[in-house]
Structure 1
Amino acid sequence: MEKTKILLAEDHLVVRNGIKLLLDTQANFEVVADVGSGREILDVLDSGVSADILITDLTMDNVDGLELMRTLNQRGVGIRVIVLSMLDDEQHVAQSFQYGVRAYLIKNVTADEMLFCVNHVAKGGRYLCEELTMKLVDKLINKEASQFRKIDPAELSLSSREMEVLELLGEGLTNLEISQKLFLSKRTVEGHRQNLIDKTKSKNTPALIKFAIKNGLLN
């Protein structure tokens, strides 16, 4: 069985030894070099060592992970990069994938997930660890919920009469039809309609209806 050759760059020796030990337990993996900086990875590659996958931290002395990826891209080195980092912010994740990494893991990842990730990348896949994936999902859920949060009419200082007029406008009734239905003068209805436009900062009646539907004031 042909083994997947792996380079490992991690400046914390204990962490590096632990990862190497884990990878060495797999019959299909071979760690061809493990070093403490990006500079050493470049030296290893310059010496003629070839590998299929590079697992690298982002924060290292001399040449850090991002600089290493930039250099590998400039040289056209065809190696699949997996980031293993403590950095879990969106900026570093996005920047890493922009630089062409195949996977991003944070350092509290389980051994099983790390092995799955390496195997998946070896087969040509891409991967984002479960914790970061769920963090992004939670953010999307919260964003979705905030976008569709129903506005309390009290927040816009809408009176019950204005809400009645708004509902009838939403049904497509004209000012005259609304005045007849609510036993109000047409001028009074026009005043309520203009108040609704002003309070919701809408340009016109269609924009008012769109705002009301979007913010849960109309079904």
Structure 2
Amino acid sequence: MGKTKILLAENHLVVRDGIKLLLDNEDNLEVVADVCCGREILDLIAAGVEADILITDLNMDNGGFRFIKDIHEKNTGIYVIILTMLYDEHYVAQSFRNGARGYLVKNVNAEEMLFCINHVAKGGRYLCEELTMKLVDKLIHQEDARAFRMDPTELLLTTREMEVLTLLADGLTNLEISEKLFLSKRTVEGHRQSLIDKTKSKNTPALIKFAIQNGLLQYSPLSE
């Protein structure tokens, strides 16, 4: 099997030289060109330079996301691996959406970088371990938050209490709710206090927050 041919675009010379040295020491990899900007990569492709993989940053002179998309849409057959300091999941999602096949942060170790390159060269996709675990931790946190959500049916809210809660969430005052539901203001205040007590909320804003977080406005209450 022939060597995997790599184009390298990195505007920091020290970083570029270090990556090139690492890759050139691998028997199955060959850096066919290393440049400082995306425009040079496009010129090389237009000139007929053949490559299997392009390693590039998102901070390219002609726009990182657009650059990736251009490479992808030109049907060059070149797989793009992002190597960047940008950790935000938005950048990860947008990169893959625009056609990237790999995403690495710049503190990745040599072993993982080589694994990514070889995996992508075989047609796979890869997200570095650090960002993968960051996303996993976020999912775990979301699942834990859901696990602590209260079952609305356990609160035994009445139809009238739900009507009051819904109107409170809409921003109506006790007086406005009393006029809308044809109840006395004192009765509305009683329902509001009952809601606060049942949900163990400190006040009305906390009650509304609790209602939103626990889906209280999406279930059928008990009859009065």
Fold shared per TM-score above 0.5: yes
Alignment of 1:55-204 (within 5 A): 55-61=55-61, 63-149=62-148, 166=156, 202=216
Q: For 2:34, what is the secondary structure of its paired residue? A: strand
Give the distance between the partners of 2:42 and 2:21, measured in 1 at CA: 23
Please tell me whether the aligned partners of residues 11 and 36 of structure 1 are also in contact (alpha carbons under 8 angstroms).
yes
- Does residue 207 (structure 1) correspond to residue 220 (structure 2)? The answer is yes
Cα distance, 1:20–1:150 mapped onto 2, change above 3 Å: same
For residues 133-153 of structure 1, the C-alpha deviation after alignment (integer angstroms, 9 at most, x for no partner) is 0000010111111112155xx
Give the distance between the partners of 1:74 and 1:111, measured in 2 at CA: 30
Match of 1:9 in 2: 9
Unpaired runs of 5+ residues, structure 2, are: 157-189, 200-210
For residues 183-218 of structure 1, the C-alpha deviation after alignment (integer angstroms, 9 at most, x for no partner) is xxxxxxxx99xx57x9666579x7359xxxxxxxxx
The one-letter amino acid of 1:87's match is L
- 1:73 positional shift: 2.9
For residues 15-35 of structure 1, the C-alpha deviation after alignment (integer angstroms, 9 at most, x for no partner) is 000000000010000100000
For residues 58-89 of structure 1, the C-alpha deviation after alignment (integer angstroms, 9 at most, x for no partner) is 1022x233221122233222211100000010
Cα distance, 1:99–1:150 mapped onto 2, change above 3 Å: closer
Percent identity of equivalent pairs: 62
Match of 2:52 in 1: 52
For residues 38-63 of structure 1, the C-alpha deviation after alignment (integer angstroms, 9 at most, x for no partner) is 000001111110100000011022x2
- 1:100 positional shift: 1.1
Give the distance between the partners of 1:9 and 1:47, measured in 2 at CA: 16
Match of 2:160 in 1: none
Give the distance between the partners of 1:128 and 1:24, measured in 2 at CA: 23
Please tell me whether the aligned partners of residues 57 and 64 of structure 1 are also in contact (alpha carbons under 8 angstroms).
no
Match of 1:213 in 2: none
The one-letter amino acid of 1:118's match is I
Please tell me whether the aligned partners of residues 72 and 78 of structure 2 are also in contact (alpha carbons under 8 angstroms).
no
Please tell me whether the aligned partners of residues 10 and 56 of structure 1 are also in contact (alpha carbons under 8 angstroms).
yes
Give the distance between the partners of 1:140 and 1:208, measured in 2 at CA: 31
Give the distance between the partners of 2:106 and 2:221, measured in 1 at CA: 50
- 1:14 positional shift: 0.3
The one-letter amino acid of 1:112's match is E
Q: For 2:137, what is the secondary structure of its paired residue? A: helix
Match of 1:33 in 2: 33
Q: TM-score scaled by structure 2?
A: 0.68
Cα distance, 1:122–1:74 mapped onto 2, change above 3 Å: closer
Two-structure CA RMSD over aligned residues (Å): 2.8
Give the distance between the partners of 1:41 and 1:16, measured in 2 at CA: 14
Unpaired runs of 5+ residues, structure 1, are: 157-162, 167-190, 210-219
For residues 112-171 of structure 1, the C-alpha deviation after alignment (integer angstroms, 9 at most, x for no partner) is 0000000101111110000000000010111111112155xxxx9xxxxxx7x95xxxxx
Please tell me whether the aligned partners of residues 69 and 99 of structure 2 are also in contact (alpha carbons under 8 angstroms).
no
Aligned residues: 170
Q: TM-score scaled by structure 1?
A: 0.70
Give the distance between the partners of 2:18 and 2:53, measured in 1 at CA: 18
Please tell me whether the aligned partners of residues 37 and 64 of structure 1 are also in contact (alpha carbons under 8 angstroms).
no
